[in-house]
Structure 1
Amino acid sequence: MLRMLRLFLVCALLSVVLSSKEIVQPFNVQPNGQVSHFDVALGKVKCLFSWAAVGGTNEDWQMSLTKENGYTCVVERPEKTSYLFFQNFAASILGAELKSVEIFDSLGNVLASENFDIDFSDGSVKSIEGKFKNSLGRVVLHAKKSKKKKKPDKEL
């Protein structure tokens, strides 16, 4: 009986671990003015981030991709303010349908929509040259799993 209880508990724990789907990866943003890229994938869904920044020194950032009631991709400088001057940025989510975007400056304020352009058809967001004020602290993409297109029913 004790052996069966242990087996049940191990199976239950394993089920919880396997059902929670999240990947968190740190990356470094270098202020060299060059366009750089970083991405993470969770199954068939991929989150990508591109940027060019100048000023200051290297900063540690992180990207997370979580599957829970859809997908959430977060690109951020965790626990610290970014002092970099972002010349531009772009983020996208592939393998899922983009539903909404939230972008924050380095002080945690929500950026006005005139600073960036969202393209729901390709699941991307990018800064708008001349409008984006070069302060970036967090990018959040919310998506849902893409539904496969159904083949039309054959005519009878």
Structure 2
Amino acid sequence: MNASTFVILVVFVSHAMCVKEETSVFNVQPNSRQSHHEISLGKVKCVFSWAAVGGTNEDWQITLTKQDGYVCVIERPDKASYLFFKNFAASVIGADFNSAEVFDSMGHLINEEDFTANTGQGSVQSVEGKFKNSLGRLILRATKHKRKKEL
């Protein structure tokens, strides 16, 4: 192994060690009942809750990644969802929530008036009467809690 190959290998390994990720597959059932699924990475948790009707069961996945902050992606990864979501909510616990992007089942960003993002509560949720019941992906971003300096 020459010196340049060794440097590239060290950079790659150190980058890979900085990225941590957990993924969990779960089943969304169109039974109209409020359900939830969560995943943890260290002290940070991402929680997704929903109620859906129509169609058949669908496999969804939730991925929580840590690299320069946290990203939680909740999605049906392999194809469009045919479920009719009555509502949804997602939250990041253990980190400072920054932003959320919500996509419909066709991959388009949904209108911001269809959901609320509350940075104080670390959550995003559908707005009753505005949300058009199509959901395909949610992306939540958060940063590590900042430590408060003691006086």
Q: Deviations 1:34-73 (Å, cap 9, x if unpaired)?
A: 0000000000110000000000000000000000111000
Distance apart, 1:118 and its partner CA: 1.0
Q: 1:121-140 to 2 correspondence within 5 Å?
A: 121-140=120-139
1:95 aligns with 2:109: no
Distance 1:35 1:88 in 2: 9
Question: In the aligned structure 2, how far is the partner of 1:80 from the partner of 1:45?
Answer: 28
Q: Which whole-Å CA distance do the structure 2 matches of 1:16 and 1:111 have between them?
A: 34
SS in structure 2 at match of 1:114: helix
AA matched with 1:105: D
Rg: which structure is higher?
1
Residue 122 of structure 1 and its aligned partner are, at CA, apart by: 1.2
Query: Could you state the TM-score of these two structures normalised by the residue count of structure 2?
Result: 0.89
Counterpart in 1 of 2:19?
20
Contact 2:52 2:87 in 1 (8 A): yes
CA distance in 1, matches of 2:18, 2:85: 36
Q: Distance in 2 between matches of 1:75 and 1:62?
A: 6
- Separation of aligned partners in 2, 1:30 and 1:37: 11
Unmatched 5+ stretches in structure 1: 3-7
Q: How many aligned positions are there?
A: 145
Give the counterpart letter for 1:50 in structure 2: S
What is the letter of the counterpart of residue 124 of structure 2?
Answer: V
Instruction: Show the counterpart of 2:142.
Output: 143
Where does residue 107 of structure 1 map in the other structure? 106
Q: Give the deviation of 1:20 after TM superposition.
A: 2.3
AA in 1 matched with 2:39:
V
Offset at residue 144 of structure 1 (A): 0.6
Aligned to 1:85: 84
Aligned sequence identity (%): 58
In structure 2, the residue matched to 1:5 is none
